[in-house]
Structure formats: C-alpha cells, structure tokens
C-alpha cells in the first residue's frame, strides 16, 4: 500500500506542475537585456564612420584625377613642388626651381594640392 500511495502522489504532482520553459539562447539574451542599447549604438557609430571614410576616399580620388600642369602639390613624404606632366599612373613634379630638379611620383604618392591663397 505504501508503494501505491507513493505512485499516486507522484502522478498528482506531475499533473499539477506547470511545464518548464527553456532558457533563450545566448545571442537572444544580448538583444533582450541591458546590452541591446550598447550594441545598437556601436552599430550606428560604425555605420557613420565607414560612410565618412568612403566620402573622404572619394574626395581624394577626385583630386588625384584632376591633377594638371601648374598645380602646386605636396607628396606624402612632405616634398613640395609644381606639376609639370600628369600621366595616367605617374606625375612629374619640379621640386627645385633653382636647379630645375624634377622627380617622378606615383599618382597615389600625391597627398594634396596646395592652396596658394591659404598661405
């Protein structure tokens, strides 16, 4: 009789208990908790940073395409000079007026066009 009472008690406890829920996976906890605003903020920050970088890169490419004879330029090494010839992949720059020293640079080595008015 003891065994029957034990089985009856176990059956009634199982019928009265509520079903257990499974825990959410780890990635779902990140989006439902306190980390969601941080993750969202980082995603927005990365979006604007990449957009700004692309914009600057496009501006530089346009500047390199528009190089022409007579432009005052500064190379990435800091050399200042005047463009004599601008070919497709390279640029001839006069770096010294007194000795008429000329140098060839790869187009990508030109850092910027120097504004004479800014001096």
pTM more than 0.75: no
- The predicted structure's pLDDT at residue 38: 85
Tokens, residue 80: 């200042």
Residue whose token pair is 């990449």 = 50
Give yes or no for a contact between 24 and 32, defined as CB atoms under 8 angstroms apart: yes
- The predicted structure's pLDDT at residue 20: 57
Give yes or no for a contact between 75 and 93, defined as CB atoms under 8 angstroms apart: yes
pLDDT tens-digit series, residues 20-46: 566 767 766 666 677 778 888 999 999
Report, as ranges of residue numbers, the positions in the chain whose pLDDT lies below 70. Answer: 1-22, 24, 27-32, 116-119
């Amino acid at each position: 009789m003891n065994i029957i009472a034990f089985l009856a008690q176990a059956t009634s406890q199982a019928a009265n208990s509520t079903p257990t829920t499974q825990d959410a996976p780890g990635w779902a906890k990140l989006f439902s908790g306190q980390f969601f605003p941080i993750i969202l903020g980082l995603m927005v920050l990365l979006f604007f940073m990449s957009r700004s970088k692309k914009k600057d890169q496009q501006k530089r490419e346009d500047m390199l395409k528009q190089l022409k004879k007579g432009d005052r330029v500064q190379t990435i090494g800091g050399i200042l000079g005047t463009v004599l010839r601008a070919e497709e992949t390279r640029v001839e720059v006069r770096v010294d007026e007194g000795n008429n020293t000329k140098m060839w640079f790869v187009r990508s080595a030109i850092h910027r066009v120097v504004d004479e008015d800014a001096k």
